[in-house]
Amino acid sequence: MKVLFRADSNKVIAMGHVMRCLSIADALKEEKNEVLFLTASDDPVELITRRGFDVKVLNTDFEHPADEFTVSKPLIEAFDPDITVVDSYYVTDAFFEKLNTLSKTCYIDDYGKEAFPVDVLVNYNIYGPTVPYIALYAKKGLALPKLCLGTEYTPLRRAFRDAKPIKIKEKGEFKVLLSTGGSDALSMAKDIADKFLLTRLKDVSLNILVGPFSKDRDYLFKLEKENPHRIKIRENITDMPGFLSEFDLALSAAGSTSYEICRMGVPAMLFGIADNQNMINKTFDTLDIIKSAGSAESERERVIGNLIAFIKEAKENYQYRVSASEKERKTVDGKGAMRIAGVLNGITIKN
C-alpha cells in the first residue's frame, strides 16, 4: 500500500500536526507500506527526513490548499497513492473533491464542526466520541466515512508503545516539566518561568521544553544561566518517553503532548493556548483525568497563577499524584497509530 501525507508545520501551525502523521507513517512503514510527505514549505523537512521518510516541498500557501493542485497533482499522480492522509485546518470541500479523484482520503480532525467528503475520519482526541459526526454528515448529505474516534486512536510515536510509565515517588527532588508547544506564540514559558522564580519552593526545578520556533529562546537560556538550580532548558528531544519519565509533574499546553503525558502517567495540569486545544483542556478536566488551569488566550494571569499554585499542591499531595497517574495511564495505551494504520489498510483493500 502507498500512503501520501499532506501536512504542514511552521511558526503558525504547531509541530504536532506533522508529528502525529509521522507516528502513523512509522506504523505503516513497519508493515512494509510506502510513504511520501507533501508540505507547503520546507519548515518540517528536516524533521520528516530525520525520521526516514521522503518529502516533497510544494512552495505553496498553506492557508489555501485547494489552490495547490497545479503543483501537487503531478507529484500525487507520480506516487499514485492508495490513500492520502490530510492534516490541515485550512481544507475545504473543493480541496477534497479534487483529491478524491486521485486517491482514497483520510482526514485528521480536531474541531468536529464540519463534514468533509472523505473515506476515513480520525478524531483521536479525548472528546472525539462526543462529536455528532453522524448528524453532521447527514445534514450535508454526505456518506459517513469510517470513524476512528477517541484516545484508542491517539497516534503516539512508536517509542511509546512499549514504554514503562513513571513510578510516583513520595519525597526527594521534585522535577517539573513545562511544555508550551513548538512556537509558544503567547510567550507562556517566559512568563511562567518569571512567576516560578518568585516562589520559595524547595527542591523544585522547572524544566522548560523549548520548541524550534520559540521567539523567547535567548531569554529562557539567560534565565537558566542566572538560576542554574531552579531553571533547566531542554530542547531537541529524541527519546520522548525517556524524557518524560524524568519528571514528577508536568504543566503542558493541551495539545499532542497531553496524550504522551497520559501514556507515561506523569501527573499534570493543562492549559489552552489555541482554539483547537480548548475542548481537549475542558474534557480532560470534566472527566477528572487531568486538571485544567484555563485558557491562556482569555485569562492569562489566572492560568499562570493556577499553574504555580498547582506545583505546590501536587508536590505536597503524594496520594493525589498516584491517583492522577493511574487515571492517565488508563486513558492512552500507545497503540493508536497501529490501529489507524490497520484501518487505512482495510479501507484500501475493501475498495
What phi and psi values does residue 73 have, to the nearest 5 degrees? -55, -45
Contact 79, 51 (CB under 8 A): no
Residue 351 banded pLDDT, cuts 50, 70, 90 = very low
Q: What is the pLDDT of residue 202?
A: 87
What distance in Å separates the CA atoms of residue 344 and residue 85, rounded to the nearest whole number? 9
Give the Cβ contact number of residue 123 at 10 Å: 22
pLDDT of 231-265, one tens digit each?
A: 999 998 989 999 999 999 999 999 889 999 999 99
CB atoms within 10 A of CB 163: 21
For residue 258, which of 175, 162, 151 has the smallest C-alpha distance? 151
CA distance 100 to 247: 45
**Lookup result for grid cell 514559558:** 189
Predicted pLDDT of residue 56? 97
Predicted pLDDT at 226 = 96
Could you give the domains of the chain?
A: 2-157+334-350 (3.40.50.11190), 162-331 (3.40.50.2000)
Asked if the model's pLDDT at residue 348 lies above 90, the reply is no
Sign of the dihedral defined by the CA atoms of residues 335, 51, 265, 89, in that order: negative
- Residue 248, Cβ density class (10 Å: 0-12 exposed, 13-18 middle, ≥19 buried): buried
CA distance 194 to 217: 14
Q: How far is CA 86 from CA 37, 235, 275, 336, in A?
A: 10, 28, 20, 17
Task: Starting at the earlier edge strand, list the strands of the sheet with 120-123.
Answer: 54-57, 34-39, 2-7, 83-87, 104-108, 120-123, 146-149
Instruction: Give the separation between CA 240 and CA 256, rounded to whole angstroms.
Output: 12
The DSSP string of 222-257 is HHHHH-TTTEEEE---S-HHHHHTT-SEEEEESSTH
pLDDT tens profile 212-228: 878 899 999 999 999 99
> Per-residue confidence at 349, pLDDT binned at 50, 70, 90?
low
Tell me which residue of 222, 248, 241 sits closest to 233, measured CA to CA: 222
In DSSP terms, which residues pair with 83 in a beta bridge? 3, 104
> By the 8 A CB rule, do 132 and 163 touch?
no
- The residue that leads in pLDDT, 182 or 290, is 290
Confidence (pLDDT) at 125? 96
Mean of the pLDDT values across residues 130-136? 97
Q: What is the pTM of this model?
A: 0.88
How confident is the model over 91-118, as a mean pLDDT? 95
Residue 212: predicted pLDDT: 80
pLDDT above 60 for 350: no
- CA distance to 153, 226, 263, per residue, from 164 (Å): 19, 35, 9
Q: Is 290 left (phi over 0), alpha (psi -120 to 50) or beta?
A: beta
Beta carbons of 110 and 123 less than 8 angstroms apart: yes
